[in-house]
Structure 1
Amino acid sequence: MAEDGKKILYVDDEQGLALLGEEFLGDLGYQVTAAFGGEEAFAAFGQADPPFDLIVTDESMPGISGIELAQKIYEVAPQVPVFICSGHLLSNEEEGMDKTNIVEVLLKTDVCAKLPDLLEKHL
């Protein structure tokens, strides 16, 4: 079960998936905020008080991609871990990942099965 008070920003440009992630992680005891795209997520990140403890983001989004979002967050808060979720297989070697704090790469189909344990590991 989640440690009380841990805040997660869950990002997906598909609103239904973002809200599903928010509900799923909320049911596990986390404080979750859904954001519907990279721009909205970065704005929410900058306004959060207290700050988010971890970010879970889709990779393929219009505007700011998940990797670009992770880069922007790394510039202002390099200690905040980021999980990237994708509909296709990514590796930790993707272009731009070296300038981030991406600690986990997940297939979207694995989110429900693997995310709870990974959150416990990183929070």
Structure 2
Amino acid sequence: MSIPLPSIKVLFVDDEPALQALGEDLLVEEGYEVVCAAGAREALDLFAQHGQQVDLVVTDESMPGMTGIELAQQLFKLAPQLPIILCSGYLLTMAEEGIAATNIKAVLAKTDIFFKLPATIASLLAQDR
């Protein structure tokens, strides 16, 4: 008899509906519970309502109104232990300006998301335990 794994909830933030849907499908297929936000403001609203249930955030960097790094800075103030994965269509590194004031644990190129995201999430959650 196997012991059921605890449900891991991922907040997936991207302003592009097609990428939201793809990200959600990928993560649900991997066994995660997924909540999507269409931008940083919506993500902050969702986090205010359900933050204690969110185990990890995956966010796009380039979004209108507030970047992924700025979102991560706001989330860091609310939950400094919450791991965040930043995704970008541009070449970014962990040395980007503003990342030091966040809990961004990994940066992925958007072209790598669907190849590397599941393993990156698993690795970060394993470090947390």
TM-score, normalised to structure 1's length? 0.94
Matches within 5 A, 1:31-70: 31-48=33-50, 50-70=52-72
- Equivalent of residue 91 in structure 1, options 71, 75, 93: 93
Deviation at 1:64, TM superposition (A): 1.1
- One-letter amino acid of the structure 2 residue matched with residue 4 of structure 1: P
How many residues were matched structurally? 121
Q: Which residue of 1 aligns with 2:31?
A: 29
Deviations 1:78-112 (A, max 9, x none): 00000000001101111111100000000000011
- One-letter amino acid of the structure 1 residue matched with residue 56 of structure 2: L
- Gap change, CA 1:93 and 1:35, over 3 Å in 2: same
Deviation at 1:42, TM superposition (A): 0.8
State which structure, 1 or 2, has the greater radius of gyration over its C-alpha atoms.
2
- Gap change, CA 1:111 and 1:93, over 3 Å in 2: same
Q: Which residue of 1 aligns with 2:19?
A: 17
Higher RCO structure (Cα 8 Å, ≥6 apart): 1
Deviation at 1:4, TM superposition (A): 3.4
- One-letter amino acid of the structure 2 residue matched with residue 77 of structure 1: A
Measure the CA separation in 2 of the matches of 1:65 and 1:50: 23
Q: Which residue of 2 aligns with 1:102?
A: 104
Measure the CA separation in 2 of the matches of 1:32 and 1:25: 7
- Gap change, CA 1:65 and 1:55, over 3 Å in 2: same
TM-score, normalised to structure 2's length? 0.90
Q: Which residue of 1 aligns with 2:124?
A: 122
Any gaps of 5 or more consecutive residues in structure 1? none
- One-letter amino acid of the structure 1 residue matched with residue 76 of structure 2: Y
What's the secondary structure of 1:48's corresponding residue? helix
Superposed structure 1 runs of 4+ greater than 4 Å apart: none
Measure the CA separation in 2 of the matches of 1:57 and 1:82: 7
Any gaps of 5 or more consecutive residues in structure 2? none
